[in-house]
């Protein structure tokens, strides 16, 4: 590949770095939630659902909707601004496809289940045995967070490659 003009490469690097940093921020929050909060609310469903109870109960929706929205936009911007860099573009498209599949899984399975658990916690008739469902959610969440983390790690070599292009290496 011929070295492209520096302003193009700098814009591409800026947006690729931005989406990578946002991904790591998102993964940090996911790791914290997975390591600290999820074990608490899945430890003894019904009793442990107290974390969701009442007007001061945990509600992850505003945080995750905002963070994922910002990240989706930055990821798409990185693809757009790296479009002329075939190798980087192709890897970004692959990683975005994997990311998108896991996001769909999140929207189809994880989000509705956590909302269901919150409703059970706040229901006067919440004497439903959900231990197996909560444990399944926790186990699958480990897999989901691992895939998101792997994607963010896979972005790092792309940042390095683009930086090498800027530096002319």
Of 13, 7, 5, the residue nearest 92 (C-alpha): 13
Report residue 18 CA to chain centroid gap.
15
Is the model's pTM score more than 0.85? yes
C-alpha–C-alpha distance, residues 5 and 7, integer Å: 6
Give residues with Cβ within 8 angstroms of 117, minimum separation 6: 41, 45, 49, 52, 130, 133, 134, 137
Q: For residue 112, what are its two tokens?
A: 């509705």
Dihedral of the alpha carbons of 33, 38, 41, 44, in degrees to the nearest 10? -160
d(CA 154, CA 149): 9
CA-CA distance, 94 to 90, in Å (whole number)?
A: 6
Q: Is the separation of the CB atoms in 37 and 58 below 8 Å? A: yes
In whole angstroms, how far apart are CA 166 and each of 1, 63, 85, 88, 100? 13, 35, 12, 13, 29
Largest CA-CA distance found in the chain, in angstroms, rounded: 67
Confidence at residue 4, expressed as pLDDT on a 0 to 100 scale: 63
pLDDT digits (tens, 9 = 90+) for 141-151: 999 999 999 99
| Least trusted range by pLDDT, from 81-90, 102-111, 114-123 | 114-123
What is the tens place of the pLDDT at every residue in 21-53? 999 999 999 999 999 999 999 998 888 888 888
**φ and ψ at residue 159, rounded to 5 degrees:** -65, -40
| Per-residue model confidence as pLDDT tens digits over 150-165 | 999 999 999 999 888 8
Average pLDDT over residues 50-78: 91
Question: Which 8-state DSSP code applies to residue 49?
Answer: G
Confidence of residue 127 (pLDDT cuts 50, 70, 90): low
């Amino acid at each position: 590949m011929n070295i492209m003009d520096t302003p193009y490469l700098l814009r591409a690097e800026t947006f690729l770095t931005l989406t990578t940093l946002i991904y790591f921020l998102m993964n940090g929050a996911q790791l914290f939630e997975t390591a600290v909060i999820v074990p608490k609310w899945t430890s003894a469903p019904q009793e442990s659902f107290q974390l969701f109870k009442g007007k001061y109960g945990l509600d992850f929706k505003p945080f995750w909707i905002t963070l994922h929205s910002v990240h989706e936009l930055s990821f798409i911007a990185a693809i757009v601004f790296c479009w002329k860099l075939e190798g980087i573009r192709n890897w970004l498209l692959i990683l975005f496809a994997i990311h998108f599949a896991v996001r769909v899984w999140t929207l189809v399975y994880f989000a509705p289940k956590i909302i269901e658990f919150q409703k059970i916690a706040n229901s006067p008739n919440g004497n439903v045995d959900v231990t197996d469902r909560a444990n399944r959610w926790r186990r699958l969440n480990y897999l989901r967070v691992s895939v998101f983390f792997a994607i963010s790690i896979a972005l790092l070599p792309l940042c390095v490659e683009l930086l090498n292009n800027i530096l002319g290496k």
